[in-house]
């Protein structure tokens, strides 16, 4: 710290930018008048308190009503990151068609002891207890054909034209285009790659 730093004068980019501004002002005949950035919106002003929002009040009353109906106090908890465990959109596990089973993702969970009959009678919650009778899964399509005959129509037209163009170019330059074999630069990596895994 506190070591000597030599001063080489104004940075060349800053000097160039300032010279460009002067040149531009001369061309347009107007000086660039810098203005201080205006202050932001007002802050710290008085905000009247009209009490609890009507929607929040209604939600509080609805929670109290459900707690009373269920005889259960809802005490939400926080996870390790401090986020509240709150009701979410219901997933498959929140549905049940068994007697004595009431499951809800909100934390208000009541599951009575399951009997063997109840364990065996669980059904898919998307359909009625009769099961999926209307929208059956489609049958799998047949495997596509394999190892069938493919006719050979000769060399591809583009390949044929490229080879012809190379011959013309070699004749014009009086030079044959020969790739040196064994040179790493001209190795076809695809031929050396094992694709049978």
Q: At CA 14, angle to CA 12 and CA 19, rounded to 5?
A: 90
Select from 108, 114, 111 the least CA-distant residue to 70: 108
- Residue 111 DSSP one-character state: E
Q: Report domain extents, the chain.
A: 76-121
Q: At CA 76, angle to CA 75 and CA 80, rounded to 5?
A: 135
Copy the structure tokens of residue 180: 């040196």
DSSP structure string for 149-179: ------S-HHHHHHHHHHHHHHHHHT----P
Say whether 101 sits in a helix, a strand or coil: strand
- pLDDT tens string for the chain (197 positions)? 788 888 888 888 999 999 999 999 999 898 888 888 888 888 889 999 999 999 999 988 998 998 898 888 888 888 888 888 776 655 555 555 555 544 444 444 444 444 444 444 445 555 555 556 666 667 777 888 888 898 898 999 999 999 999 899 899 988 887 766 667 777 777 777 777 76
Select from 55, 158, 187, 47 the least CA-distant residue to 166: 158
């Amino acid at each position: 710290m506190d070591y000597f730093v030599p001063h080489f004068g104004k940075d060349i980019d800053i000097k160039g930018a300032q010279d460009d501004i002067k040149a531009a002002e001369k061309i347009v005949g107007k000086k660039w008048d810098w203005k201080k950035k205006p202050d932001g919106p007002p802050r710290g002003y008085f905000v009247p308190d009209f009490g609890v929002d009507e929607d929040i009040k209604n939600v509080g009353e609805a929670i109290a009503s459900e707690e009373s109906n269920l005889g259960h106090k809802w005490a939400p908890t926080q996870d390790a990151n401090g986020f509240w465990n709150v009701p979410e959109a219901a997933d498959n596990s929140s549905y049940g068609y068994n007697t004595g089973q009431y499951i809800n993702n909100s934390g208000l969970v009541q599951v009575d002891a399951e009997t063997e009959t109840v364990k065996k009678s669980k059904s898919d919650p998307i359909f009625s207890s009769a099961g999926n009778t209307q929208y059956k899964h489609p049958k799998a399509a047949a495997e596509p054909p394999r190892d069938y005959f493919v006719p050979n129509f000769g060399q591809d037209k583009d390949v044929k034209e490229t080879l012809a163009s190379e011959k013309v170019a070699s004749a014009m330059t009086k030079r044959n285009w020969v790739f040196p074999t064994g040179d790493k630069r001209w190795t076809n990596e695809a031929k050396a790659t094992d694709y049978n895994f």
